[in-house]
Every structure is written in C-alpha cells, then in structure tokens.
Amino acid sequence: MLEAAFWGFVGGFALLVGAVLGLRLGARQRLIGLVMAFGSGVLISALAFELTAEAFDQGGTDAVAIGLAAGALAFFAGDWVVDRRGGEHRKRSGGEQSGGSGAAIVVGAMLDGVPESMAIGISLLGGQGVSAAVVAAVFLSNVPESMSAAAGLRTAGRSVRWIMGLWLGVALLSALAAALGYGLLGGASADAKAFIQAFAAGAILTMLADTMMPEAFEHGGRTVGLLTVIGFAGAFLLSTIE
C-alpha cells in the first residue's frame, strides 16, 4: 500500500507543480488550453489501453460495460451536485470562480482527482510494478488542470495560501486514493478488479469530456486536436515499452 500511496502522491504532486505555474504565469489561456489538450490525449490513451483493455482481458464485456456505465454515472451525479453548490467553474482560468462556493470548489477538485489516483493503485495489482503510462498520464493531465484552476482562482480573489493548500490537500488525497485502490482490491476476484478498472475509466472519461476538453478547445483553438493526438500517441508508445 505504501508503494501505491507513493505513486499516487507523485501523480498528485503535479497539481502543486501546475498551481505554481498558473500563479506565476497567470491566465495565459491559450497556453493553458494547449497543455490541457496534450494532457487529455495522454489520459485518453491510458484509460483506453491501461484500464479498459485490461478490464476486458480480466472480466470480459459485461464487466467493462457495467463498470464504464457506473463510473460515468457516478462522476456525472457527483459533478452535478458540486455544480449546483457553486463549483461548476472550478477548473476555469478566467476567474469565473468568484461567485462559487469555496467548499464546492474543494470537493469538486477532489472528485476530479480520485478516479485517476485509484487507477494508479489498481495498476499495481498485476504484480509487475506500477504502470508508468498511467502515472505519466495522471501527472501530465494534472498539471494543466491545476494550472488553469489556480490562475482562475487567483483572478477570482483567492489567496495564494488558499490555492496551494487546496492542491496540497488534493495531492494527499490522491495518495490515499491510490493506496485504497490497491489495498481494497488486493484479494478481489478478476471480475471485481475488472469492474473497478472500467469504473475508473468511465469516471475519468466523463471528467475529460465535461471539464478539460471544452476548456482546452475554448482557449487553444483548432490546434488542440493535433496536440490531443500527440499526447495520445506518446502515451500509447510509452505503454508499449513498459
């Protein structure tokens, strides 16, 4: 579990890196959009080849279909609650968070990070060590997420201490989520592991479509398509040489 927690924190540490960049660079929205596009492509590759494909190999079509649907619905429901309570703009870079609830922004940030961190812990269950592709995907997607949000939160009037405290908390929660993903499923059946892998993939994909990709296209323009493919291809190649 300690190894899973360590790698979960590595992925979560990217949130702190992104927050520092966002605070220093400010809301350079085109840059943020392009980085988000690259991170989205990396994460799509990881959830397709490291989570969904592995889930299919272990549990077959039923586990994948049910897991994807459950993960998507769970994230959608949680995100809907967060949005209703004032956290709908938590990842925006233009300061739209000014009218949002601080608690909802915190909960929303945690909601976004937990499925990715669980995926890191789950990747250790095969006994071959952590998946470098999954860790890289989570790390590279977390940087633009917090970069965008930190710039927006600062524009909205949040203090640097509040912003860094938020992302430190999410990074620590990421370590815990990775440890739980590994510890709770260590003795689980192949079908149960497959379901959880597909569940994480469904939640992550829903998060991407709902938050990261619209923000990337809005600020990055047409170039985001190319950068998304570059991120996808790079992560896929990384997964083939593990």
Q: What is the pLDDT of residue 2?
A: 78
Q: What is the pLDDT of residue 12?
A: 82
Q: What is the pLDDT of residue 94?
A: 56
Hey, how many other C-beta atoms are within 10 angstroms of the C-beta on 241?
Answer: 7
In terms of pTM, does the model score above 0.85?
no
Which long-range contacts link 61-65 to residues 24+ away (Cβ below 8 Å)? 63/191, 63/194, 63/195, 63/198, 64/194, 64/198, 65/198
Query: Read out DSSP for 58-107?
Result: HHHHHHHHHHHHHHHHHHHHHHHHHIIIIITTTT-SSSGGGGS-HHHHHH
Question: pLDDT tens digits for the chain (242 residues)?
Answer: 778 888 888 888 888 888 888 888 765 678 878 888 888 898 898 889 888 988 898 889 999 999 999 999 988 988 888 777 765 655 565 555 554 555 566 666 677 677 777 777 777 766 566 777 778 778 877 887 788 778 777 877 788 888 888 888 888 888 888 888 777 766 777 888 888 889 888 988 998 888 788 878 887 888 899 999 998 998 888 777 75
Q: What is the pLDDT of residue 80?
A: 85
Q: What is the pLDDT of residue 15?
A: 85
The encoded tokens of residue 240 equal 């083939």
Domain limits at 68? Answer: 2-240
Whole-angstrom distance between the N-terminal and C-terminal Cα of the chain? 21
Q: What is the pLDDT of residue 242?
A: 57
Q: What is the pLDDT of residue 66?
A: 95
The encoded tokens of residue 33 equal 């959009």
List b or e across 42-52, with b for residues whose CB sees 16 or more CB atoms inside 10 angstroms: bbbbbbbbbbb
Q: What is the pLDDT of residue 33?
A: 81
Given 3-state DSSP classes, what are the helix, strand and coil percentages for the chain, each rounded to the nearest 5? 85, 0, 15
If one counts the domains in the chain, the total is: 1
Helix (H, G, I), strand (E, B) or coil at 124: coil
Task: Give the HSE-up count for residue 52: Cα atoms under 13 Å, Cβ half-sphere.
Answer: 18
Which among 114, 167, 160, 169 is positioned nearest to 145, based on CA atoms? 167
